[in-house]
Structure 1
Amino acid sequence: MTTESKGQRPQTADLEDPLYYLKNMDTVVSWVTSHHGDLLTANEQSRLDNFFKLSVAARGLLTRMVMRTGELFRVDKLNYPELPDSVGYALAELIESNWLQSSPLLGIDDLFRLVTLTELRPVFANLLTELGLPKNLSKSRMREVLTEHFPEPQRLQEWLGDGAPAMVRLRDMPLFDRIRLMFFGNLRQSWTDFVLVELGYQQYEQVTFSTDSRAFHQRADVDCYLQMHHCRQWLDEGVAAVEVWPEVPGPLANPWLTSRRDRLLLELGRQAERQGERELALEVLAASNHREARLKQLRLLERMKRFGEAWKIARHWHAGDLSDAEAQGLARILKRLAPKMGAAPPAVDTPPPIREFTLTLPKPEIASVELAAQQHLETEEAPVFYVENTLINSLFGLLCWQTIFAAIPGAFFHPFHVGPADLMREDFVERRQQAFDQCFALLRGGDYRQRILETWREKHGIANPFIVWPVLSEDLLIMAMDCIPAHHLERLFERLLNNLKEHRSGFPDLIRLHPNTAGPGPLYEMIEVKGPGDRLQDHQRRWLAFFAREGMPASVCYVRWQADGDSE
Structure 2
Amino acid sequence: MDNRPGTADLDNPLYYLENMETVIGWVLSHHADLLIREERDRLSAFRELSVPARALLTRMVMRTGELFRADKLRYPELGVPESVALEELVTGNWVDTGPVLTIDQLFRLYTLGELRPVFAAVLQEAGWPKILPKGHMLEALRQSFPDARPLADWLGTAVNPVVCINHMALFDRVRLMFFGNLRQSWSDFVLVELGHQRYEPVTFTPDSRAFQLRSEVDLYLAMHQCREWLDEGVPAREVWPEVPAPSDNAWLSSRRDRLLLELGRQAERQGDRELALQAFGAGGHREARLKQLRLLERMKRHREAWGIASRWQAQQLSDAEAQGLARILKRLASRLDETPPPASMQPPIREFTLTLPKPALGSVEVAVQQHLWRDDTPVFYVENTLVNGLFGLLCWQTIFEPVPGAFFHPFHVGPADLTREDFVARRQASFDRCFACLQDGSYRDRILANYRARQGTTNPFVIWPVITDEVLNLALGCIPPADLERLFRRLLLNIREHRSGFPDLIRFHPGNTASGRRYEMIEVKGPGDRLQDHQIRWLEFFAGEGISASVCYVRWQDNRVME
Q: TM-score category by the smaller chain?
A: over 0.9
- TM-fit CA distance, 1:510: 1.6
Measured in 2, the distance between the counterparts of 1:517 and 1:364 equals: 31
Matched, 1:205 2:228: no
Matched, 1:124 2:114: no
List gaps (5 residues or longer) in structure 2: none
Q: Is the 8 A contact 2:359 2:561 kept in 1?
A: no
Question: What's the counterpart of residue 112 of structure 1?
Answer: 107
Moved more, 405-414 or 87-96: 405-414
The equivalent of 2:542 in structure 1 is: 547
Instruction: Kindly state the Cα deviation for residue 163 of structure 1 after the two structures are TM-superposed.
Output: 4.0
Question: What's the counterpart of residue 230 of structure 1?
Answer: 225
For residues 174-218 of structure 1, the C-alpha deviation after alignment (integer angstroms, 9 at most, x for no partner) is: 111100111111111111101232113322111111111111111
Does 2:7 correspond to 1:41?
A: no
Give the alignment of 1:130-529 within 5 angstroms: 130-529=125-524
1:17 alignment partner AA: N
Output aligned runs, 1:79-94, within 5 Å: 79-94=74-89
Worse overlay, 293-302 or 550-559:
550-559
Change (3 A) 1:44 1:516: same
**Structure 2 Cα separation of the partners of residues 104 and 440 of structure 1:** 61
Code of the residue aligned with 1:489 in structure 2: it is L
1:16 Cα deviation from its structure 2 partner: 1.8
Letter in 2 for 1:361: L
CA contact (8 A) 2:264 2:280 kept: yes
Report how far residue 404 of structure 1 moved.
Answer: 1.2
**Which secondary structure state, in structure 1, belongs to the residue aligned with residue 484 of structure 2?**
helix
Segments ≥4 residues shifted beyond 6 Å:
none
- Which residue type is aligned with residue 18 of structure 1? P
Kindly state the Cα deviation for residue 352 of structure 1 after the two structures are TM-superposed: 1.4
> In the alignment, residue 54 of structure 1 is paired with which amino acid?
L
- Alpha-carbon distance in structure 1 between the residues aligned to 2:221 and 2:561: 64
Partner-residue secondary structure (3-state), 1:358 = strand
Q: Distance in 1 between matches of 2:560 and 2:250?
A: 64
Structure 2: distance between partners of 1:91 and 1:400: 51
Is the contact between residue 358 and residue 561 of structure 2 (CA under 8 Å) also seen in structure 1? no
Does 2:561 align with 1:531? Answer: no
Change (3 A) 1:319 1:458: same
How far residue 403 of structure 1 moved from its aligned partner, in angstroms, is: 1.3
Deviations along 1:310-351, one digit per CA (max 9) or x if unpaired, are: 111111111222121111111000111111111221112112
Deviation at 1:165, TM superposition (A): 3.0
Deviations 1:375-412 (A, max 9, x none): 33323332222211111111011111111112233332
Aligned-partner SS, 2:227: helix
Q: Alpha carbons of 1:306 and 1:155: their partners in 2 closer, same or farther (altered >3 Å)? A: same
Q: Is the partner of 1:546 in helix, strand or coil?
A: helix
In structure 2, distance between residues paired with 1:15 and 1:372: 41
Structure 1 residue 559 and structure 2 residue 551: aligned?
no
> For residues 26 and 424 of structure 1, what CA distance do their matches in structure 2 show?
31
Deviation at 1:365, TM superposition (A): 4.6
SS at match of 1:322: coil
Return the letter of the residue paired with 2:310.
R
Question: Take 1:365 and 1:114, find their aligned partners in 2: how far apart are those partners?
Answer: 53
- Say which is worse superposed, 372-381 or 223-232, in terms of deviation: 372-381
Q: What CA distance in whole angstroms lies between the structure 2 residues aligned with 1:562 and 1:164?
A: 72
- AA partner of residue 312 (structure 1): G
Would you say how many aligned residue pairs link Structure 1 and Structure 2? 562
Alignment check: 8 A CA contact 1:400 1:439 kept: yes
Distance in 2, Cα, partners of 1:185 & 1:243: 27
Deviation per CA, 1:129-183: give whole Å up to 9, x if none. 3233322211111111111122222333332234423310111111111001111
The alpha-carbon deviation at position 505 of structure 1 amounts to 1.2
Partner of 2:339, secondary structure, is coil
Matched-pair contact (CA < 8 Å) for 1:532–1:558: yes
Distance 1:210 1:101 in 2: 38
> Secondary structure at the residue paired with 1:470?
coil
For residue 105 of structure 1, what is the amino acid of its counterpart? V
**8 Å contact kept, 1:21–1:196:** no
Structure 1 residue 566: deviation in Å?
9.8
Which whole-Å CA distance do the structure 1 matches of 2:96 and 2:282 have between them?
44
**Deviation per residue, 1:41-87 (Å, 9 max, x gap):** 11111110101001111111111111110001112221222223222
Residue from 53, 56, 59 that aligns with 1:58 = 53
Q: Does structure 2 retain, via aligned residues, the 8 Å contact 1:102–1:167?
A: yes
Matches within 5 A, 1:24-39: 24-39=19-34
Amino acid corresponding to residue 183 of structure 2 in structure 1: R
Q: Could you tell me how far apart the structure 1 residues matched to 2:82 and 2:146 are?
A: 33
Checking the alignment, whether the CA contact within 8 Å between 1:14 and 1:200 is kept in structure 2 is no
Please provide the CA RMSD for this pair.
Answer: 1.7
Report the CA distance between 1:297 and its aligned residue: 0.8
- d(CA) in 2 for partners of 1:221, 1:88: 39
Give 1:565 deviation, angstroms: 6.0
Structure 1 Cα separation of the partners of residues 372 and 101 of structure 2: 66
Classify the secondary structure of the residue corresponding to 1:511: strand
Deviation, structure 1 residue 554? 0.9
Query: Is the partner of 2:554 in helix, strand or coil?
Result: strand
How many Å apart are 1:541 and its aligned residue? Answer: 1.0
Distance 1:146 1:108 in 2: 8
Of 79-88 and 550-559, more deviation after overlay is shown by 79-88
CA distance in 2, matches of 1:378, 1:399: 28
Identity of aligned residues (%): 66
Is the CA contact 1:369–1:529 (under 8 Å) kept in the aligned structure 2?
yes
Q: Give 1:272's aligned amino acid.
A: A
CA gap of 1:159–1:376, structure 2 versus 1, over 3 A, is farther
Query: CA 1:303/1:164 → structure 2, altered by over 3 Å: closer, same or farther?
Result: same
In the alignment, structure 1 residue 10 sits paired with structure 2 residue 5? yes
